[in-house]
Chains A and B, each alone.
Chain A
């Protein structure tokens, strides 16, 4: 399941969608996050289907407002619909999104099996975003937002967030 394809859309619409980021993870654009599922154009009106990352994620409302504003600035109006199915998974984060997360200090999600090893069995496999060591331990299954867990590196001692695998 790939995210919406922007290539057929007018440049201003593409630009608007690419500039919106998750307010809680400002380095990650909504396109890189894979939450924009469908975009269609009806003259100057844009219909967008968004899928939430977590049901209660307060960032979703904010993103919808940001998208509307960015489009209005470029002379478009927008209708944004939240769709639940199919449910979002971290697999939809693009490779560039994963790289942006890591550079920002958030460890990108591992595959489902490794994620389980890290979060449940306490295996030391999540790579520290500061020094690259895998000698890290989970501090809390729940982190600063619903999508993250809190880790600490035992080598450089820095705490960091890990984006949990959601499948």
Chain B
């Protein structure tokens, strides 16, 4: 093993990359939200997620040592080195997709953080304790919009259901434990994904019922984002996310 912290670093990437890529997707909406309030809300959420990523990556950089910095981790990796799930890289097709993707992530993120506050790793526990307060707001926001759109007009209901039908099959990936996640859970550092899944499905059930939406029965999409295998979406994301660092290496503000 190159670095004795290899597994921990890997785990930090699995945790951080979901927030990084979703944060990036939301940042694309800056100035393009459907209304001023939602524009501000979505970019606020993006900012919270980026803040959380910074904490994870600063820690990962410290563990990696050498010249590594949070920016290098965020912007200098190649596609196969990103460890987020496929759900978060899906594009902002319309507002229903944005809200659906957000809700399906928030409903996972909150119980995940609720476990991580008890992590044996002090730094992860501290980041989780900080993020959990923000994540509660995010889930509140996305759940209320799920209800508003799902229980709104015929048009909004249909669009919300279409988005959910497309996105829901990606949610199974959250709970497919990688070797790293298994090891981290066993050593008291990581979360128990098996315990989170029933909480997740229950939140989905409750919110969908209020939102007049049906839970899709389509089977799980077989995706391996946490192992670095991504959809074609990631190429477009990285082209924009990494542009400045690739064009002007090591630039700073």
Least distance between B104 CB and chain A CB atoms (Å): 19
Say yes or no: A55 contacts B40, CB within 8 Å.
no
Say yes or no: B122 contacts A58, CB within 8 Å.
no
* Per-residue contact bits, chain A 129-159, to B (CB 8 Å; 1 contact, 0 not): 0000000000111111110001000000000
Please tell me if B205 contacts chain A, counting CB pairs below 8 Å: no
Hey, which chain B residues are within 8 Å of A87, CB to CB?
Answer: 126, 129-130, 133
* Per-residue contact bits, chain B 36-47, to A (CB 8 Å; 1 contact, 0 not): 011011001101
Say yes or no: B50 contacts A56, CB within 8 Å.
yes
Please tell me if A11 contacts chain B, counting CB pairs below 8 Å: no
> Among residues 89 to 120 in chain A, which have CB atoms less than 8 Å away from a CB atom of chain B?
119-120
Q: Given the known inter-chain contacts A55-B130, A87-B130, A140-B37, please indicate yes or no for A146 contacting B48, CB distance below 8 A.
A: yes
Interface size on A, residues (CB 8 A): 25
Please tell me if B125 contacts chain A, counting CB pairs below 8 Å: yes
Say yes or no: A56 contacts B52, CB within 8 Å.
yes
Beta-carbon nearest neighbor of B125 in chain A: A85
Least distance between B15 CB and chain A CB atoms (Å): 13
Residue from A56, A140, A167 in contact with B54 in the complex, judged by beta carbons closer than 8 Å: A56
The CA-CA distance from A145 to B47 in the complex, in Å, is 10
Hey, which chain B residues are within 8 Å of A54, CB to CB?
Answer: 47-48, 51, 134
Hey, which chain B residues are within 8 Å of A145, CB to CB?
Answer: 44
Least distance between B114 CB and chain A CB atoms (Å): 14
Say yes or no: B41 contacts A142, CB within 8 Å.
yes
Please tell me if A84 contacts chain B, counting CB pairs below 8 Å: yes
Please tell me if A166 contacts chain B, counting CB pairs below 8 Å: yes
Say yes or no: A84 contacts B127, CB within 8 Å.
yes
Hey, which chain A residues are within 8 Å of B133, CB to CB?
Answer: 87, 166-167
The CA-CA distance from A78 to B129 in the complex, in Å, is 28
Say yes or no: B140 contacts A141, CB within 8 Å.
yes
Say yes or no: A84 contacts B54, CB within 8 Å.
no
Least distance between B101 CB and chain A CB atoms (Å): 17
Say yes or no: B129 contacts A84, CB within 8 Å.
yes
Least distance between B125 CB and chain A CB atoms (Å): 7
Please tell me if B49 contacts chain A, counting CB pairs below 8 Å: yes
Among A55, A86, A143, A167, the one with the most B-chain Cβ atoms within 10 Å of its Cβ is A55
Please tell me if A2 contacts chain B, counting CB pairs below 8 Å: no
Hey, which chain A residues are within 8 Å of B127, CB to CB?
Answer: 55, 84
The CA-CA distance from A140 to B39 in the complex, in Å, is 10
Q: List 21 A-B contacts (CB under 8 A).
A: A54-B47, A54-B48, A54-B51, A55-B48, A55-B127, A56-B49, A56-B54, A57-B47, A84-B126, A84-B129, A84-B130, A86-B129, A87-B126, A119-B140, A141-B41, A141-B140, A142-B37, A142-B40, A142-B137, A144-B40, A150-B40
By a beta-carbon cutoff of 8 Å, the part of chain A in contact with chain B is 52, 54-58, 84-88, 119-120, 139-146, 150, 164, 166-167
The 9 closest A-B pairs by CB, nearest first: A56-B51, A55-B51, A140-B37, A85-B126, A142-B41, A56-B47, A84-B126, A142-B44, A87-B130
